[in-house]
Amino acid sequence: MELDFEVVDLDPVDHPEEGDTAPDFTRPLVNDEFWADESLSSLCADSEQVVLVFHPMDGAFPATYIWNEIRDRAWHEQATVVGVSISTPYEHKQLLEEREIEGNHRLFSDPANGVAQQYNIDMDLDGMAGIEEPRPSVFVLDSDRTVEYAWVAEEWPDFPDYDAVEAQL
Amino acid sequence: MSESDITLYRLQACPFCERVVRKLDEYDLDYHSRFVEPMHSDRDVVKRLSGKRTVPAIVDENTGVTMSESANIVAYLERTYGDEGTAGGVA
């Protein structure tokens, strides 16, 4: 059965690709107990692989779906897994708690969407004046921030290919 | 992030925390900030360190000191890093 489900096509963008060095940034990184400024480069340096997941703001259903899936797949057992959204540290703490996300999952808070702008994956939100957020995207990085895998949504809404990400870990 | 040896556990907009921040700035000391929950009962990270859930709390790797209560912390910083300081620890 064909569902009359409207998906918006997004224009192609020049985002970091496999082999590129992912832009570095520093933002508050939230865990289940506190938050502190942290740089992507230091996370990468401390880990063989980092999975960087840009997702819609906390509370939106895609954020919930994405984190339920990542939690259930336990990527954190093989890599450092971090999210990025425009939500505040307080909202990130609540997301970690509500989704029962444990283990080494942490969330960067980027309310001004500057990280998405650095990655060229920023997107205005129709009907929410003055608010922009990242396109849903996943980057798998090595310890030098070299991109091993990149996926950026080309329609909205869209979800990561979880199996493809997992194949990289 | 930096090579700072001082970690300050703080709560956003907490005047007692700002008092400690002012003193750290006065002595030009680098420090990491770790922001915790407004909910007292959720501050287990601070409790594990200092035995209490109150903020501010400070951990100074230079001296091995962990303490809470802003008045105590300010007095400690003055004693350790102020002009009248004798304990050293400043490069």
Identify all chain A residues contacting B44, using CB atoms and an 8 Å cutoff.
33
C-alpha–C-alpha distance, residues A166 and A49, integer Å: 12
**Domains defined for chain A, CATH in brackets:** 19-168 (3.40.30.10)
CB of A108 within 8 Å of a chain B CB? The answer is no
According to the model, what pLDDT value does residue A97 have? 87
**B85 has pLDDT over 90:** no
Residue A114: helix, strand or coil by DSSP?
A: helix
Contact, A55 vs A85, CB < 8 A? yes
* Extended beta strands in chain B, E state: 6-10, 32-35, 57-60, 65-68
Q: How far apart are CA B12 and CA B26, in angstroms?
A: 20
A:B CB pairs within 8 Å: 27
Residues 6 or more apart from A15 whose CB is under 8 A from it?
Answer: A119, A120, A121, A137, A150, A152
Structural class in CATH, domain B6-81? alpha beta
**Minimal Cα–Cα distance from B84 to chain A, Å?**
32
The ipTM of this complex is 0.83
Question: Following DSSP, what letter does each residue of A126-153 receive, concatenated?
Answer: TTSTT-EEEPSEEEEEETT-BEEEEEE-
Q: B43: distance to nearest CA of chain A, Å? A: 7
Segment B39-54 mean pLDDT: 88
Please report, for chain B, the start and end positions of each structural domain, with discontinuous segments joined by +. 6-81
Using a CB-CB cut-off of 8 Å, the residues of chain B touching A35 are 34-35
The amino acid that residue B17 corresponds to is C
Give the distance, in angstroms, between the CA of residue A94 and the centroid of all CA atoms in the same chain: 17
pLDDT of residue B1: 41
Residues of A in contact with B3 (CB under 8 A): none
Is pLDDT of B90 > 80?
no
Cβ(A26)–Cβ(A145) below 8 Å? no
Q: Residue for token digits 């007292």?
A: B40
Confidence of residue B91 (pLDDT cuts 50, 70, 90): very low
What's chain A's average pLDDT? 93
Q: Which two tokens stand for residue B7?
A: 């970690």
For B5-40, write each residue's pLDDT tens digit: 999 999 999 999 999 999 999 999 999 999 998 888
* Exposure string for A94-108, b = 16+ CB within 10 A, e = fewer: ebbeebebeeebbbb
Q: What is the pLDDT of residues A137-147, one digit of tens each?
A: 999 999 999 99
User: Which chain A residues contact residue B32 at CB under 8 A?
Assistant: 36-37
* pTM of the full structure: 0.89
Q: For a pLDDT cut of 90, what percent of chain B falls above it?
A: 74
- Ranges of residues in chain A with a pLDDT under 50 are none
